[in-house]
Structure 1
């Protein structure tokens, strides 16, 4: 399958036809036949994982989607791998109403609360001769390491790396990397606490 999509990249006209067969024009959601007959054989879900019935999986076969063991995607969440992989580790919780747009990698034992937006995709806007919706897109991987807690209503922008066992306070806008064992808050999010490995205490950061 991967080889087939690599061939299609070199044949724009054929690629356009295949794309239409997979996705209706001007939409992001794949056709039902893709959801029913293609995705179950191409994407991977490990034992004990749960995807609630009202979740929206806009996942396509030309990028990967993986849900790890005993992980949960809650109701009204949208997952989109149209421009990049969405890989979710084991024992991870994706909360109600979240939006995850690849490329995104989320580690193990991570909690993502309600109404969080994690998007590795951006639209260019430099040209004034084209509507922004018609301009090229750019993408940068968002990576969230193991054991993190992402609070409700957080926005994580493309290219951000959140280090292990970090906490993102509710309502924060994360625009730059977060070191491991840190607490950040605000818009834009800034470092407010960090774990001192020597004293074994969470310390405030001035």
Structure 2
């Protein structure tokens, strides 16, 4: 049994370790974690850049930023409930919120003010405050070469296929096939690429 499994199997120890890493009621790790642990645990590729972003990343889950990728100012990256992987040559634009588990591929463009959260809060027991109910996680995957336009929302469990476009303001609640354009709330595929005709064709909904 590894260290992580031993901590998770002992509720009292898990609570103590959690308090040592994160102040009670907060998501941001303590300063000593940022300075003394995270730089040695998480991976950053050559030429990667991080602006004035809020990195709520903790050592018990992974955070990898690929080579020549950029996280711009006012972003919030959180791996508290799941790993966050960002590939090579990928742009995470101004004001993005990325909450793991999330995997983003290579050559991906996230325009400003996108929310991608692999986390949901349980709410169905009306006798318990939502904030005290368990969290539910389901990985988001954005495959290579995608463009996610401004103000979009990507919900837990969704996969966006290779070389797809999500239009501005879309709310993606279901997976998008590769080589597709999706728009709306909830997002629907409006175009796909026809490799026989070598052109984008409209989808009748």
Report the TM range for the smaller structure's normalisation.
over 0.9
Match of 2:48 in 1: 49
List structure 1 segments (4+ residues) > 2 angstroms apart after TM superposition.
none
Listed as ranges, the gaps of 5+ residues in structure 1 are none
Aligned equivalents of 2:70 and 2:181: distance in 1?
24
Aligned equivalents of 1:17 and 1:191: distance in 2?
47
1:41-190 aligned within 5 A: 41-52=40-51, 54-190=52-188
1:3 is displaced (CA, Å) by 2.7
Aligned equivalents of 1:96 and 1:65: distance in 2?
19
Cα-Cα RMSD: 0.8
For the residue of structure 2 that corresponds to 1:194, the secondary structure is strand
Q: Structure 1 length normalisation: TM-score? A: 0.98
Superposed CA deviations along residues 11-66 of structure 1, whole A, max 9, x for unmatched, are: 110111010000000000000100011000000001000001x2000000110000
For the residue of structure 2 that corresponds to 1:57, the secondary structure is strand
For the residue of structure 2 that corresponds to 1:91, the secondary structure is coil
Match of 2:200 in 1: 202
Aligned equivalents of 1:47 and 1:6: distance in 2?
32
Match of 2:15 in 1: 16
Superposed CA deviations along residues 114-154 of structure 1, whole A, max 9, x for unmatched, are: 00000000000010111111111100000000000000000
Superposed CA deviations along residues 148-178 of structure 1, whole A, max 9, x for unmatched, are: 0000000000000000000000000000000
Q: Structure 2 length normalisation: TM-score? A: 0.98
Listed as ranges, the gaps of 5+ residues in structure 2 are none
